[in-house]
Each structure stands twice: as structure tokens, then as C-alpha cells.
Amino acid sequence: MDREQFAASVIETLGAYGVMDAEYVPAEFSVRHSGSHMLFLGNVFQDCDGLPPEEQRGLIARFVEAIIDPDVTPENWDEVRPLLRAVLRPITYGMEWDSGAGMLTRPAFPFVNEAVVVDLPRSRTYVSMRAVLEWGVDPEAVFACARANLAELAMPGSPDDLHYTRMVDGGDAYAVSWLLVPGWLASYGGGEHRPVAFIPEDNTLLILPDDPDLLEKAFESIEDEYGQATRRISPQAYTIDDSGMVVPLDWLESHPARAHALRARCGLAVTEYGVQTRFLNEKFEQDLDLRPYSDVEVAFPSTVAYQDSIDGPVTSAVCGEGIEYLLPEADYLHFVRADADGDVELICTVPFDDAMEILGLIPIQGLNPPRFELRQWPDTNTLELLCERSVTL
């Protein structure tokens, strides 16, 4: 069924539960009911894609039931701890949460965070910092408990099991997040090839050996899958280092598939900064500030671009004269200004770490992925220092 048909089915199901004022909002692909309550349909629509009609109706019914008659989350630590699960989510997931309530997260991989959910019979709820305070425990204890519960679900492999394996998770196994379980991916190691895992979206886990030909095809298909996913996580490949720790494949500098891994790394950065840029622009346009997320004043949140270099794919951002910026942490900054004819002139291209040192850039508190304030164009002496560090890509 198409989107309008799907929304009509949701509205019909709501009617069966006594909700008679539901209406479809096409621009947001959502259903509004009871005044201001919104049901966003993107995730459940994707979950229904390709299912037989009977299974689609069942999934819609469970979706509506979970909204109308939600599960009750336990309020005390002893009751909630066996229900906790660690999950992987992109860094921008939940960035709209009020900073006072703040979703409980910590970095897992570049541009990917570890969060914690409460696994309820019909739904999942994300753990907030407010909930952790109410439970009276340390955040590290919550993460440790969530990982321990996840480890009980993870199915370890062996080198003999390392072949092209695709797992599509119905939601109960949390397979995509098994990368967080210490030693899980390493259990496939020890053979001729390193194990490699892909997690393009939150219900798909791909495991395969790091055979270069196989990886090249996998990167191509994962890039497409990630780009089309509604609940995307990462296009990157993850493997193990010599100590058995899970790391992005691009961290292995001599790996034959590193060029593909670098492209995926850049794609993830461009996507996540793109999500954040849209959010910042909308917030500035609506409220003229970023409170409660940050107290930074209005400035231009520049985007991250993908480009090729002599060393492989990299990310870059542009810094122009006369503009106040919230700069993203790209690999390189291009400093440009208009010449006498009004044409854009490239002054220098500087590695971001060098620019951060010379300009004294400091990450803005409350923004992830990180951004840095640059309110003034560099003076003559500072520009000379930047040009001394300039590189050719």
C-alpha cells in the first residue's frame, strides 16, 4: 500500500479503538488526533513494507494499541534493571530532547552513540538522565546493566561461522547492537580473515570476512541501503583490531579496503552533520536561539562536504570572509573570500586540527556532533599562520 492508504489504515484502526477525530497530515507523514497528539508513521510504514496484508494489519494494530494503551515503565531500579538493553543509534538521534531530561548516551563509534532502552512487551522507551536520577544510580551502572542484559541475547560465533551472513532483526534480539558486547565480534576471529560487520539500519546486521572483493560489493550495497533507510545507523564497516576491540575499518591504515571504508566514513559524517544543520537552521529560524540545547548566539551552521584527495576520500567545510560560523569538525577547512571581481578566491586549505590550534577553537557545549564558534575573519597575521599550514588535496 502507498502512504495515503497506509495512513487511512491507521486512522481506521484508531477508529476501532474509539478515536474518531484522527486526520492525516501528509507533509509530516503523520496522523493527528485528540487535538495535538501526533503519530509519526515513517518507522512503522517501513516495517510493514513487503509484508503480506494480514501481517501489515497486525503490525498496524500493535502500533496503534501501544499508543492508545501504552506499556507502563517500572519506576524503581530493581524492577527496571532486567529490562534494560544497550542500543546503537546515530549521534543526532534524540538531539531534540530537552537538555534537562537528556537522553542517556555515550560515544560508541564515530558519529554513533550507545543509548539505553527499557524493553517493554509492546514498545521500547529510551532512558533519560532524569530517569537515572530518579532511580538513584550512577549512569555507568545503567550502561553496565544494559550491556550485561544484551550479552545474554547475543549469539557468539566462531571462525568456522565467518561467511556472508545477513540478520534481519524483528526487534527482540537487538542484533544490531551486539557490537557493544565485549568479545562478540572477536568470536568470529582467529581464521584466515578478520570479521567485518555492517549496521546500515536498526534492524539489519551483516557479518562477512574481510575478503577485498567481497567487501567492495558489500560497501556498494550498504551505501544504497543506508541511503534509503528510514532508521539508518551507519554505512561504515566495523572490524576488530589486534587486541580484539571493535573499531571502524578505516582505522586500519594498511587494509586493502580502506578507500571504501574512508568513503563510508565520510558519508556518515556528511549525513549526520546534515541532520544537525537542518535542525539548527530550523531552531534559529523559529526561536532565534538554541536554548535549551546551548546558549550560543545565532550564526551560520556550515555544512560538511565530501571530496576526494590524493590520500582518499575526506570531508571539508568552507569558511568565508564576513560571516559568523558554527563550524563542523571536518577533516579540512577551506578559507575563501571574494576578489575584486566578486569571484570566490581560495586562500588556503588547512587541516582542521591545525586550524583549531591557530584560531583557538573550542567545542560548543551542548552540540553533538561538535561545532566551533568562529565570529571573525582571521586577521593578517593569523591568516599567514593558516597559510603556512595549507595543504593541497
| Distance (Å) of CA 235 to CA 197, 212, 217, 298, 323 | 10, 17, 13, 32, 33
**Residue 142: band (very low, low, confident or very high) from pLDDT cuts 50, 70, 90:** very high
**Residue 360: band (very low, low, confident or very high) from pLDDT cuts 50, 70, 90:** very high
pLDDT of residue 124: 80
Average pLDDT over residues 307-336: 95
Average pLDDT over residues 307-332: 95
Average pLDDT over residues 338-364: 91
Is the pLDDT confidence value at 298 over 70? yes
Average pLDDT over residues 123-129: 85
Average pLDDT over residues 160-173: 85
**Residue 97: band (very low, low, confident or very high) from pLDDT cuts 50, 70, 90:** low
Q: Which residues pair with 335 in a beta bridge?
A: 319, 348
pLDDT of residue 36: 60
pLDDT of residue 44: 80
Is the pLDDT confidence value at 101 over 70? no
Average pLDDT over residues 88-106: 81
Average pLDDT over residues 14-30: 83
| pLDDT tens digits along 32-86 | 887 667 777 876 887 787 778 888 888 888 888 877 766 677 889 999 999 999 9
Average pLDDT over residues 355-382: 94
| Lookup: cell for 183 | 568479545
Q: Let me know if 110 is exposed, middle or buried by CB neighbors in 10 A (0-12, 13-18, 19+).
A: middle
Can you give the pTM of this predicted structure?
0.83
pLDDT of residue 28: 67
Is the pLDDT confidence value at 315 over 90? yes
Is the pLDDT confidence value at 149 over 80? yes
Is the pLDDT confidence value at 200 over 90? yes
pLDDT of residue 29: 79
**Residue 245: band (very low, low, confident or very high) from pLDDT cuts 50, 70, 90:** very high
Is the pLDDT confidence value at 100 over 60? no
pLDDT of residue 138: 95
Average pLDDT over residues 259-268: 97
pLDDT of residue 239: 97
Is the pLDDT confidence value at 231 over 90? no
Is the pLDDT confidence value at 292 over 80? no
pLDDT of residue 50: 73
Mean pLDDT of all residues belonging to the chain: 90
Is the pLDDT confidence value at 99 over 60? no
Task: Output helix, strand, coil percentages for the chain, rounded to the nearest 5.
Answer: 40, 25, 35
Average pLDDT over residues 242-252: 94
Q: Let me know if 100 is exposed, middle or buried by CB neighbors in 10 A (0-12, 13-18, 19+).
A: exposed
The one-letter code for the residue type at 89 is R
- Range 162-165, long-range pairs (CB < 8 A, 24+ positions): 162/188, 162/191, 162/193, 162/195, 162/207, 162/208, 162/209, 163/208, 163/209, 164/206, 164/207, 164/208, 164/214, 165/206, 165/207, 165/208
